């Protein structure tokens, strides 16, 4: 676990932040669809539930398969990183953020059959989303960036050990 600690750190912090914000929204709003304008017609907090995937994709389907997909991604990432040699820092963060999002939304799907979304950017007519969705997107960006030569030069190769830095 020590050798890829940024993975665990990003995963745990992202998961806890996602769950905490969803709990706050559920306890703070009286009913679905209720909204609070933080910046009128630009950014609102809006309480909605989403039985589908990110940005309400597949919302019209049963959604059971999304539960199992979230579980598979969560378990797959944990096993992969647990068994991997030390990964580059950006890759650890990428996988950790994807883990946070998959686990956060996955837990909601197993417990409730839907996820709570509340971040509502109205200026660009963007679908309502949550912290888990942000984590997944940050993770994907990290995993894309780690493959660019600019970032590869600053990362240690897989498996290279440096006993002075336990990242």
DSSP H or E stretch at residue 8: helix 5-28
In-domain check, residue 167: no
Q: Is residue 134 part of a domain?
A: yes
Q: What is the mean pLDDT of the chain?
A: 87
Q: Which domain holds residue 24?
A: 2-30+47-152
User: What pLDDT score was predicted for residue 164?
Assistant: 40
| Catalytic option among 18, 108, 120, 133 | 133
Q: Is 162 inside any structural domain?
A: no
Query: Is residue 133 annotated as part of the catalytic site, yes or no?
Result: yes
The reply to whether 123 falls in a domain is yes
Is 86 among the domain residues? Answer: yes
How many domains does one find in the chain?
Answer: 1
Q: Is 117 a catalytic residue?
A: yes
Q: Please state, in angstroms and rounded to a whole number, the distance separating the CA atoms of residues 159 and 48.
A: 44
42 located within any domain: no
In a domain, 160, yes or no: no
Marked catalytic residue, from 18, 108, 117, 120: 117
Task: For residue 120, tell me if it sits in a domain.
Answer: yes
> Could you say which residues of the chain have pLDDT below 70?
1-2, 52-63, 151-167
């Amino acid at each position: 676990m020590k050798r890829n600690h940024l993975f665990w750190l990003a995963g745990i912090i992202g998961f806890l932040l996602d769950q905490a914000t969803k709990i706050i929204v559920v306890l703070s709003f009286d009913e679905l669809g209720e909204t609070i304008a933080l910046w009128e017609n630009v950014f609102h907090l809006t309480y909605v539930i989403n039985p589908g995937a990110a940005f309400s994709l597949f919302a019209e389907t049963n959604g059971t398969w999304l539960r199992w997909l979230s579980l598979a991604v969560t378990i797959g990432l944990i096993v992969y990183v647990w068994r991997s040699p030390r990964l580059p820092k950006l890759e650890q963060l990428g996988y950790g953020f994807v883990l946070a999002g998959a686990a956060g939304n996955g837990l909601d799907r197993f417990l409730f059959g839907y996820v709570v979304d509340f971040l509502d950017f109205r200026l660009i007519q963007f679908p309502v989303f949550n912290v888990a969705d942000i984590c997944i997107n940050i993770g994907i960006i990290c995993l894309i960036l780690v493959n660019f030569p600019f970032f590869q030069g600053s990362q240690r190769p897989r498996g290279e050990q440096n006993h002075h830095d336990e990242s």
